[in-house]
Amino acid sequence: MESNLDLSKFWCWQKDCPDYGKMNAGNIVLKERFGKDHRALLKCRTCGHCFSETHGTPFFGLHVPMDEVCRTLAQIPEKGSIRGAARSSGHDKSTICRWVDLAGKHCKEVTDYFLKELRLDRVKVDEIWSYIKKRRKTSLSTI
Ligand SMILES: [Zn+2]
Protein backbone atom coordinates (compact mmCIF):
# COMPACT_ATOMS: atom_id res chain seq x y z
CA MET A 1 0.00 0.00 0.00
CA GLU A 2 1.73 3.14 -1.12
CA SER A 3 1.27 6.32 0.77
CA ASN A 4 1.92 9.46 -1.16
CA LEU A 5 -0.38 11.49 1.00
CA ASP A 6 0.93 14.25 3.16
CA LEU A 7 -0.83 13.24 6.35
CA SER A 8 0.32 16.34 8.17
CA LYS A 9 -2.23 18.46 6.29
CA PHE A 10 -5.22 16.48 7.51
CA TRP A 11 -6.91 16.71 10.83
CA CYS A 12 -9.66 14.96 12.73
CA TRP A 13 -12.96 16.71 12.16
CA GLN A 14 -14.86 14.83 14.84
CA LYS A 15 -15.91 17.79 16.95
CA ASP A 16 -15.68 16.05 20.33
CA CYS A 17 -12.23 14.57 19.65
CA PRO A 18 -9.45 16.01 21.82
CA ASP A 19 -7.41 16.43 18.62
CA TYR A 20 -10.19 18.05 16.61
CA GLY A 21 -8.80 20.57 14.16
CA LYS A 22 -5.18 19.95 15.05
CA MET A 23 -2.91 19.71 12.06
CA ASN A 24 0.30 17.74 12.10
CA ALA A 25 -0.44 16.25 15.53
CA GLY A 26 0.53 12.74 14.46
CA ASN A 27 -2.92 11.34 15.19
CA ILE A 28 -3.95 10.83 11.57
CA VAL A 29 -2.95 7.57 9.91
CA LEU A 30 -3.75 5.96 6.56
CA LYS A 31 -6.14 3.09 7.15
CA GLU A 32 -6.76 1.79 3.66
CA ARG A 33 -7.59 2.75 0.11
CA PHE A 34 -10.97 2.07 -1.40
CA GLY A 35 -13.11 2.50 -4.49
CA LYS A 36 -12.00 2.82 -8.08
CA ASP A 37 -10.13 6.04 -7.38
CA HIS A 38 -8.15 4.34 -4.60
CA ARG A 39 -9.23 7.07 -2.32
CA ALA A 40 -7.54 7.07 1.03
CA LEU A 41 -9.45 6.25 4.15
CA LEU A 42 -7.80 7.99 7.06
CA LYS A 43 -8.16 7.30 10.70
CA CYS A 44 -7.69 9.38 13.81
CA ARG A 45 -5.80 7.35 16.36
CA THR A 46 -7.06 9.52 19.17
CA CYS A 47 -10.77 8.87 18.79
CA GLY A 48 -10.87 6.11 16.16
CA HIS A 49 -12.91 8.22 13.74
CA CYS A 50 -12.46 7.34 10.06
CA PHE A 51 -12.95 9.70 7.16
CA SER A 52 -12.08 9.84 3.48
CA GLU A 53 -9.30 12.08 2.25
CA THR A 54 -11.74 14.42 0.56
CA HIS A 55 -13.58 15.00 3.81
CA GLY A 56 -10.43 15.97 5.59
CA THR A 57 -9.02 18.12 2.80
CA PRO A 58 -8.33 21.61 4.01
CA PHE A 59 -10.33 24.17 2.13
CA PHE A 60 -7.54 26.25 0.61
CA GLY A 61 -5.82 27.01 3.84
CA LEU A 62 -8.91 27.27 5.99
CA HIS A 63 -9.13 25.30 9.17
CA VAL A 64 -12.43 23.78 8.11
CA PRO A 65 -13.04 20.61 6.09
CA MET A 66 -13.93 21.26 2.47
CA ASP A 67 -16.99 19.10 2.94
CA GLU A 68 -18.42 21.42 5.52
CA VAL A 69 -17.62 24.56 3.55
CA CYS A 70 -19.22 23.24 0.38
CA ARG A 71 -22.29 21.93 2.15
CA THR A 72 -22.79 25.31 3.75
CA LEU A 73 -22.33 27.14 0.45
CA ALA A 74 -24.82 24.78 -1.16
CA GLN A 75 -27.44 25.92 1.35
CA ILE A 76 -27.28 29.56 0.34
CA PRO A 77 -29.75 29.43 -2.59
CA GLU A 78 -31.99 27.10 -0.64
CA LYS A 79 -32.13 29.44 2.35
CA GLY A 80 -32.31 32.48 0.14
CA SER A 81 -29.40 34.31 1.69
CA ILE A 82 -26.07 33.99 3.45
CA ARG A 83 -27.82 34.99 6.64
CA GLY A 84 -30.22 32.08 6.19
CA ALA A 85 -27.41 29.63 5.52
CA ALA A 86 -25.60 30.95 8.58
CA ARG A 87 -28.61 30.34 10.76
CA SER A 88 -29.15 26.76 9.57
CA SER A 89 -25.48 25.75 9.52
CA GLY A 90 -24.46 27.42 12.76
CA HIS A 91 -21.54 29.20 11.12
CA ASP A 92 -20.93 32.88 11.43
CA LYS A 93 -22.27 35.06 8.65
CA SER A 94 -18.88 36.70 8.23
CA THR A 95 -17.23 33.27 8.08
CA ILE A 96 -19.52 32.23 5.25
CA CYS A 97 -18.81 35.51 3.44
CA ARG A 98 -15.13 34.64 3.58
CA TRP A 99 -15.85 31.18 2.18
CA VAL A 100 -17.91 32.72 -0.60
CA ASP A 101 -14.95 34.90 -1.56
CA LEU A 102 -12.60 31.95 -1.45
CA ALA A 103 -14.95 29.76 -3.46
CA GLY A 104 -15.08 32.46 -6.11
CA LYS A 105 -11.33 32.21 -6.46
CA HIS A 106 -11.39 28.43 -6.74
CA CYS A 107 -14.38 27.89 -9.01
CA LYS A 108 -13.14 24.71 -10.59
CA GLU A 109 -12.30 22.84 -7.40
CA VAL A 110 -15.52 23.90 -5.73
CA THR A 111 -17.65 22.99 -8.77
CA ASP A 112 -15.97 19.58 -8.90
CA TYR A 113 -16.73 19.06 -5.27
CA PHE A 114 -20.37 20.03 -5.67
CA LEU A 115 -20.80 17.64 -8.61
CA LYS A 116 -18.73 14.67 -7.52
CA GLU A 117 -18.83 14.65 -3.75
CA LEU A 118 -22.16 16.25 -2.91
CA ARG A 119 -23.72 14.83 -6.11
CA LEU A 120 -25.57 18.00 -6.89
CA ASP A 121 -26.89 18.45 -10.41
CA ARG A 122 -25.74 21.15 -12.80
CA VAL A 123 -28.83 23.28 -12.33
CA LYS A 124 -28.35 23.40 -8.60
CA VAL A 125 -24.64 24.13 -8.96
CA ASP A 126 -25.38 27.00 -11.36
CA GLU A 127 -27.83 28.35 -8.83
CA ILE A 128 -25.19 28.32 -6.11
CA TRP A 129 -22.71 30.09 -8.36
CA SER A 130 -25.13 32.79 -9.33
CA TYR A 131 -25.56 33.55 -5.62
CA ILE A 132 -21.85 33.46 -5.01
CA LYS A 133 -21.13 35.78 -7.93
CA LYS A 134 -23.82 38.22 -6.93
CA ARG A 135 -22.50 38.23 -3.39
CA ARG A 136 -18.91 38.74 -4.52
CA LYS A 137 -19.85 41.75 -6.60
CA THR A 138 -21.62 43.44 -3.70
CA SER A 139 -19.02 42.44 -1.12
CA LEU A 140 -16.19 43.82 -3.19
CA SER A 141 -17.84 47.20 -3.40
CA THR A 142 -18.91 47.43 0.23
CA ILE A 143 -15.81 46.13 2.04
ZN1 LIG B 1 -10.17 12.24 16.40
In angstroms, the CA 72 to CA 36 distance is 28
Asked if residue 76 lies in contact with residue 128, where contact means CB atoms within 8 angstroms, the answer is yes
Q: For residue 16, how far is its CA from the centre of ligand 1 (angstroms)?
A: 8
Give just the sign of the alpha carbon dihedral 56, 59, 65, 66: negative
Centre of ligand 1 to C-alpha 101, Å, is: 29
Instruction: Specify the pTM.
Output: 0.58
| CA 46 – ligand 1 centroid, Å | 5
At 42-87, the pLDDT tens digits run 999 999 998 887 665 556 566 677 788 999 999 999 998 899 999 9
Q: For residue 56, which of 29, 76, 36 has the smallest C-alpha distance?
A: 29
- Mean pLDDT (the chain) is 83
DSSP letter (8 states) at residue 52: E
Distance (Å, rounded) from C-alpha 31 to C-alpha 34?
Answer: 10
- pLDDT in the model for residue 18: 93
pLDDT the model gives residue 40: 85
Q: How far is the CA of 42 from the centre of ligand 1 (A)?
A: 11
